[in-house]
């Protein structure tokens, strides 16, 4: 995708049921510094069933408890007839637009829009037929791991590779809404790299920007965060989404974090080189006459760093100088009698 961290604004359900809000969210995402806007492509009928049975009623301490899955997704889904307008506006704004499909019909629909990337949501990581169908499109595939155990991730990655798609990014994700910072467990990103040989990133549901910033140090190449024009719009995802100003602050912080990582080499920057003038070196600390012996009183290791390297101190001790020297002269190796 690119060398810098690829920052995704997740539209999700933050459209208030109005196309113009969705379009203005795209514009705001661009203003905030996002690289991409991500959609979710499903209907209530393609993601669940309309059933009143207990299995289909949300429970477990979520912000959506006691709601039917069907009703929640019917409220949250992005109408498919809006997708084309959103894709076109994103292109005009210079944003990458892509989506999470939740069944094969969504993939086929998105293919007609030239969707450049596909995202597999956390709860779909076990839908191996869907992952295989997506992977066969041979486009970059991003997979969230919010509910995944090792075997789930291994199977998902192998499914992609078995069809020849090795452009895989695993996102560390905590599937709580909002997610507690102490459950972010970002160290797993490094384990993903070691265990699966993939690119890594973060799908973040925590509040604020601390977790995204730290993820950069852990090697994140992608950061995804829910984005909303204004939390007063309400909706299923509003409580854990960032508004334009908050998202812009996160982007700025992530970009600074990127700069702080640097590269693995021992080369000094110009500022560091200039700072070497404050290092220690050998200086004449008492006036000396030609023929005087060097001792710990007349030559010392002090700041600044324009004199002889202190590593030579033991070598020159007891030897004689070949010229008159004054207090404060930077000592040089050629001042010592051969």
What is the model's pTM? 0.85
Instruction: Give, in order, the Cα–Cα distances in Å from 38 to each of 24, 117, 218, 228.
Output: 14, 10, 23, 12
**Averaged pLDDT, 178-204:** 94
Does 286 fall in a domain? yes
**Averaged pLDDT, 110-120:** 98
Does 58 fall in a domain? no
- Which run of H or E residues covers position 200? strand 199-204
Does 234 fall in a domain? yes
Last residue of a domain, one of 209, 241, 261: 261
- pLDDT-derived band at 2 (thresholds 50, 70, 90) equals low
- Asked if residue 105 and residue 154 are part of one domain, the reply reads yes
Last residue of a domain, one of 229, 261, 293: 261
First to last CA, the chain: 62
- pLDDT-derived band at 119 (thresholds 50, 70, 90) equals very high
- Asked if residue 309 and residue 230 are part of one domain, the reply reads no
- Asked if residue 106 and residue 87 are part of one domain, the reply reads yes
User: Which pLDDT does position 210 carry in this prediction?
Assistant: 94
Q: Which domain holds residue 233?
A: 6-42+77-261
- Asked if residue 315 and residue 223 are part of one domain, the reply reads no
Question: Phi-psi category of 138—alpha, beta or left, where left has phi over 0 and alpha has psi -120 to 50?
Answer: left
- Asked if residue 277 and residue 174 are part of one domain, the reply reads no
Mean pLDDT taken over the chain: 94
């Amino acid at each position: 995708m690119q060398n810098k961290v690829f920052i995704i604004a997740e539209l999700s359900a933050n459209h208030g049921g109005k196309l113009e809000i969705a379009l203005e969210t795209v514009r705001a995402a661009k203003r905030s510094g996002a690289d991409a806007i991500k959609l979710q492509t499903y209907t209530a009928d393609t993601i669940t069933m309309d059933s009143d049975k207990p299995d289909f009623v949300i429970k477990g301490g979520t912000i959506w408890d006691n709601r039917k899955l069907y009703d929640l997704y019917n409220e949250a889904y992005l109408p498919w007839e809006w997708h084309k307008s959103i894709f076109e506006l994103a292109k005009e704004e210079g944003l990458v637009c892509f989506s999470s499909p939740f069944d094969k019909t969504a993939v086929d629909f998105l293919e007609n829009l030239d969707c450049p990337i596909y995202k597999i949501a956390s709860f779909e990581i076990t839908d191996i037929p869907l992952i295989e169908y997506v992977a066969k499109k041979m486009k970059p595939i991003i997979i969230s791991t919010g509910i995944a155990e090792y075997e789930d991730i291994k199977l998902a990655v192998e499914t992609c590779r078995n069809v020849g798609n090795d452009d895989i990014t695993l996102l560390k994700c905590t599937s709580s809404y909002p997610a507690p910072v102490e459950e972010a467990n970002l160290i797993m990103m490094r384990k993903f790299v070691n265990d699966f040989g993939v690119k890594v990133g973060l799908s973040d549901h925590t509040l604020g920007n601390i977790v995204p910033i730290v993820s950069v140090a852990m090697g994140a190449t992608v950061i995804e965060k829910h984005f909303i024009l204004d939390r007063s719009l309400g909706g299923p995802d509003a409580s854990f989404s960032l508004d334009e100003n908050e998202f812009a602050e996160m982007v700025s912080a992530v970009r600074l974090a990127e700069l702080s990582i640097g590269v693995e080499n021992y080369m000094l920057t110009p500022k560091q080189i200039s700072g070497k003038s404050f290092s220690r070196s050998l200086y004449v600390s008492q006036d000396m006459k030609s023929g005087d012996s060097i001792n710990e009183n007349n030559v010392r290791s002090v700041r600044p760093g324009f004199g002889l390297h202190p590593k030579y101190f033991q070598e020159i001790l007891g030897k004689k100088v070949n010229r008159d020297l004054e207090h404060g002269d930077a000592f040089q190796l050629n001042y010592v009698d051969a």
